[in-house]
Structure 1
Amino acid sequence: MNIDADFTDAEREVRATVREFVDRSIRPNIARWYDDAVFPVELVPEMAALGLLGMHLHGHGCAGRSAVEYGLAMQELEAGDSGIRTFVSVQGSLAMSAISKHGSEEQKQRWLPRMAAGEVIGCFGLTEPDAGSDPSSMTTTARQDGDEWVLDGAKRWIGLASIAQIAVIWAMTADGVRGFLVPTDTPGFRVTPIAPKLSMRASIQCDIDFDGIRLPHDAVLPGAVGLGGPFSCLNEARYGIAWGAVGAARDSFDQALGYAQQRTPFGRPLASFQLTQLKLVNWALEIQKAQLLALRLGRLKDAGRLEHHMISVAKLNNTRVAIEIAREARAVLGGNGITLDYSPLRHANNLESVRTYEGTDEVHTLILGEKITGHAAFRG
């Protein structure tokens, strides 16, 4: 479809730069990191130097790149591994985005430049043990006590929490849901990495417990009251996922195609068999459609015309397509496909998490169902 012709020179340059980084620093090591369940913190300075941290944010040391440029970067990172892309998403689209969108000028100046430089790592605490898809039922609370805030509660599946220096924590207050900036060395802030995991093994997710932790009065993000605050950040992350899933699908396709060209069952290349070609053609069609959908989303975002339900279209479609391609690509690889010598099964395992976080398939289906019918089906 020659989609490359629809990208600008600057967009292709971003893609090439991040792809080179992935080929050089991620691909040779990802099998070991995944097998050992290790997030490579040594990559953070290089990702910061490439301008990947908060790259779509403007000012305060952030790169200020376009939505399409950001999307292409996420696509290339996830072609390497979903866990690496997730780091950039949590840091930039969630933690930094919350401060950029809803923080005071003092909070922005204090945190964003150092986060963009990779000197400070952030996390984003919304999901709870009993409140994933329904954050309105959160039980984490914040109450005022004189000039201080007192937080109590728990969060779960919080990316980067064990290596973060600052946490954006969402809690229920007398005025509704508010966001708080919580230094992770605050007394009473307890983090426990979640292990073992079958997915996102080269990434970090944690449980967090709060036991009467005390924060100064200016720890609150002044620009966010209600669930619109965290949802605006989730939409940024969902947007990046729509692009990232294309990268995982494309890498799975490339691995299966290369293998099928070299494998010679019954004295001929596996790629010459009709059933193999059927699979490859179907995958190519779906990847092209997913790429066009992501590009449409990015152009709308850059033009200021993106509506939140449109993000659900791309997040739902592209993750669903990617996980099916990754699974079927593993089958083309046969028994060799269950080893970490090849990427599709690793991508498929990671995509089980990607299709769940930032809104499950069911949640995005119901968002679109409400858009189509006018009836909200979230509650019976």
Structure 2
Amino acid sequence: MKVFDLHSDLFTDIAWRKSRGEKSVFDRVHYPKLKAGGITSIICVFWVEPKFANQSYERFKQLLTYVMEDLNSSKHAALSPPSSREKKLVETEKINIYLGLEGLTFMEDWEGETTLSKIENAFTYLSEHKIMHSIFAWNEHNFLATGTGADCVSSFKGLTDYGKIAVAYANRQNWVLDVSHLTETSFWDMYNTTNHPIIASHSNAKSVCMHERNLTDEQIKAIAHRGGMIGLNAYGAFVDEEEPTIDRFIDHAVYIANLVGPQHLAFGFDFVDYLHSYDLGTASPVYTKGLEDASTVPDLLEKMSKRGFTNAELEAISFENAHSYITNHLSKRGSINGTNTYSSR
């Protein structure tokens, strides 16, 4: 069964390995596990690690250089979506990789005389380099928004004025707006600033696991109401506070499917098995027993079937929901000057 993963940090591993002189990292390290897990499409993000917080722009450019060098020489990676000069993406043995961003702090230091010109220049450059997705803030407060876990003295945790301007630019370029990591205030500000369907690429249900990174019922319903997607996260801390297991992960799937329907459910696994050996400036990873890496996905689907999900529902959750959302979203590009072609639902 084909699988679409809405969130992966594998670019971080590629960059660290490339910095040590390794070659063909995606093909050697990541493709075998993705293939074993049935993953055929994936959103991979550029994420500036906390270790580089004081030089975020320089680190972002370094990440971009390392990753694109590796992907451009890959035999198993296909950058998506195809450019206007390329034919429509066809079914191949390659993994379709969509480029995304997890945190936009680096954008404040982009080239430009004003903050507004920096935002405009950055969106233009990034769109030209096939980036089509963004989370405005990771576990941080930046000039656009505030993420959960941010250590900041400001009591304001929503979108800033520049954040709302950035939403407009993202809409104009038809980027996928992702609310995972945003505080509730930033979530609702983004929801009310855009009329595009949004995603929470790697978030679970707060009613099942009371973690600030998870979504309230109201947030889940709001995403579904506008035709958005929720990608279930396999990171242990968001699965269960005490004993994260594959069965507990499925509890989140059952809860969200019952709340808004399986048509709004997908996977955003957030696997971190390849990051444990690096000094990223983060806490030690927490794994979900039975769902530690991409190769365990077939077992997950089998267990979900035993829990009552039909084959049609599993095909939708594992691939069709995310694929339809992404292809539909990217097809609605403005015809003149990036005019927004969406209307509110």
Structure showing the higher helix proportion among its residues? 1
TM over 0.5: no
The TM-score normalised by the length of structure 2 is: 0.30
The TM-score normalised by the length of structure 1 is: 0.28
Structure with max Cα Rg = 1
